[in-house]
Structure formats: structure tokens, C-alpha cells
């Protein structure tokens, strides 16, 4: 009877221990592992007033590999986030939900599940990590990783827009030249918005219209040679000659419906 009475308490203690390993307390350091050789190492910051932990990622092929990146930790009881700044924007590298941890790194669309590795944690030696962190602070590599780089961001967004145009080509059989008026986008726009969504939704709508419609394919190929996107105060779609100009806005909604209605009326 005494064992049965103690069972709820034992389960509670086990549950609490499970939460602790995935929460804000990293002790002297902890190591997590994922598929395909991915590892994540956490060590406490020596300046807790600035950041809670340093996060070292390996095996992802991302810009985070090999860096000792300062992270803040937020924990509201139900979820824990390990947050840093990447290219000027807030970035959640590690997310803990219901005692499971997922890793998110730049260049990977999907997160990677990671689990606590007791053996690697036991063998962890934090001092070399602190030394690497000091070197990366001194050589400016951490600052470069965290600072906003407008030109690099524009290059990446341009690549994403070209991929959207490629999806249009695959279905419609034609590919308009895609241009973005980057001067109309502020730094905050680039940091905070998905340009591929705000600018690319009309292209996606055209792709859907082509799917199963030879008439749409022929019309778009003949009448739309260039697609241009700009940021404005209000949404607006206009075809001038063979250039389809899409002016998006932060409050843009129902972009697909607007695009379809305009093209069906004006082409």
C-alpha cells in the first residue's frame, strides 16, 4: 500500500527530471544529438547578465556550425526557447515542447529533433569551448553572423524569388523575368517579412491557374514577360505592356484571390 501511495510522487519526480534536462538549467554543459551526425552543445555563459548559454552546433552544414553563439533562454512553463540574433533578426535555434527538443538552423527548412546524450555530456570539457568563443568574439566572426547584412539578405531573397519563378515555369511552360524593387523595402521589411510570400504569391496563383488550363498557359506566355514586385502602403496589381507589377503591403491579405480576379478580368 505504501508503494502504491508513493507512486504519484515518484511519477511527478520523474516528470520534473525530464523537464529539467530540456529546460533552462544546463548545469556545467549538456550535449544533444540528432540524425546524420548533428550535435548541439550547451554551456552556461560566464556573463549570465548578458546571455544564459552558449550554443555550439555541428553537422548541419549551416552558418551556425563551429560557432559558439550566445543565446537567451525564455521559459514560460509550457515551452522553452533558446533565442539569438541572426543577421539582425530574432532566431529561435532550439525549441522545447513537451520534453522534446528541436533544432532550427539557417538554410534548413525543417527542424531536426535532438535528444539528450548522457555519455557525451559526461565527456564534455567546456574550457576549449570558452576559448573558441573568445577567439570568435575577437576576430569578429560572431558579430558578422549576428549583424544585419542587407546585401546578403537581398541575394538570398532574390534566389527564393527565382525559385518561385521556376515553379511557374514547370507548370505554365514560360518564365517571366522576375524583378524586385529592393529600394522600396526597408531593412525592417527584409528582417521581418517573408519576401517570398509577400512578392511570390501572385506567381504561385498564376501557377495554380495554369494547372490544367492550356488557355491560361498560352495567355500568360504571350502577355506577361516581366513580373515586378515593390513595397507600398496599399496593395495594387497592374499590367502595363507585358510587365505585371505587384505592389504589396504589410497589411496584404487574400493576395491569391486578388491576383486571380485581376488576371481573369484584364487578360
Domain definitions of the chain by residue range: 21-146, 150-266
Nearest residue to 112 (alpha-carbon basis) of 122, 123, 121, 101 = 101
Provide the pLDDT for residue 48.
57
Three cell numbers at 119? 555519455
Whole-angstrom Cα distance, residue 117 to residue 29? Answer: 11
Whole-angstrom Cα distance, residue 64 to residue 85? Answer: 12
Provide the pLDDT for residue 13.
38
* pLDDT tens, per residue, the chain with 267 residues: 444 444 444 333 333 333 334 455 788 899 999 999 999 999 998 875 555 899 999 999 999 999 999 999 988 878 899 999 998 989 999 999 888 999 999 888 789 999 999 999 999 999 999 999 999 999 999 999 999 999 988 998 999 899 888 888 889 998 899 999 999 999 999 999 999 999 999 999 999 999 989 999 999 999 999 999 999 999 999 999 999 999 999 999 999 999 999 999 998
Three cell numbers at 176? 517571366
Prediction pTM value? 0.67
Whole-angstrom Cα distance, residue 139 to residue 137? Answer: 6
CB 169 within 8 A of CB 175: yes
Whole-angstrom Cα distance, residue 133 to residue 54? Answer: 8
Provide the pLDDT for residue 164.
83
Contacting residues for 255 by C-beta, under 8 A, at least 6 apart: 198, 201, 202, 205, 235, 248
Whole-angstrom Cα distance, residue 67 to residue 74? Answer: 21
Contacting residues for 56 by C-beta, under 8 A, at least 6 apart: 40, 41, 42, 43, 66, 67, 68, 69, 129, 132
Provide the pLDDT for residue 16.
37
CB 86 within 8 A of CB 145: yes
Q: What's the full length of the chain, in residues? A: 267
Three cell numbers at 120? 557525451
Contacting residues for 186 by C-beta, under 8 A, at least 6 apart: 231
Amino acid at each position: 500500500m505504501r508503494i502504491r501511495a508513493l507512486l504519484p510522487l515518484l511519477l511527478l519526480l520523474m516528470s520534473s527530471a525530464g523537464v529539467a534536462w530540456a529546460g533552462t538549467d544546463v548545469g556545467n554543459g549538456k550535449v544533444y544529438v540528432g540524425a546524420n551526425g548533428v550535435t548541439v552543445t550547451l554551456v552556461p555563459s560566464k556573463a549570465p547578465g548578458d546571455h544564459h548559454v552558449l550554443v555550439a552546433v555541428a553537422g548541419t552544414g549551416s552558418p551556425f556550425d563551429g560557432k559558439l553563439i550566445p543565446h537567451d533562454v525564455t521559459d514560460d512553463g509550457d515551452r522553452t526557447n533558446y533565442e539569438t540574433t541572426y543577421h539582425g533578426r530574432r532566431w529561435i535555434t532550439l525549441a522545447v515542447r513537451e520534453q522534446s527538443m528541436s533544432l532550427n538552423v539557417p538554410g534548413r527548412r525543417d527542424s531536426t529533433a535532438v535528444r539528450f546524450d548522457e555519455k557525451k555530456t559526461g565527456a564534455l570539457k567546456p574550457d576549449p569551448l570558452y576559448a573558441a568563443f573568445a577567439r570568435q568574439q575577437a576576430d569578429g566572426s560572431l558579430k558578422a553572423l549576428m549583424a544585419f547584412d542587407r546585401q546578403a539578405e537581398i541575394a538570398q531573397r532574390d534566389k527564393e524569388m527565382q525559385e518561385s519563378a521556376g515553379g511557374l515555369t514547370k507548370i505554365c511552360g514560360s518564365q517571366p523575368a522576375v524583378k524586385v524593387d529592393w529600394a522600396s523595402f526597408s531593412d525592417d521589411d527584409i528582417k521581418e517579412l517573408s519576401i517570398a510570400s509577400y512578392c511570390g504569391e501572385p506567381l504561385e496563383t498564376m501557377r495554380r491557374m495554369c494547372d490544367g488550363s492550356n488557355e491560361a498557359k498560352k495567355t500568360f506566355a504571350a502577355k506577361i514577360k516581366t513580373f515586378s514586385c515593390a513595397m507600398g502602403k496599399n496593395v495594387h496589381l497592374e499590367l502595363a505592356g507585358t510587365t505585371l507589377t505587384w505592389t504589396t503591403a504589410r497589411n496584404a491579405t487574400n493576395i491569391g484571390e486578388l491576383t486571380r480576379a485581376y488576371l481573369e478580368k484584364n487578360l
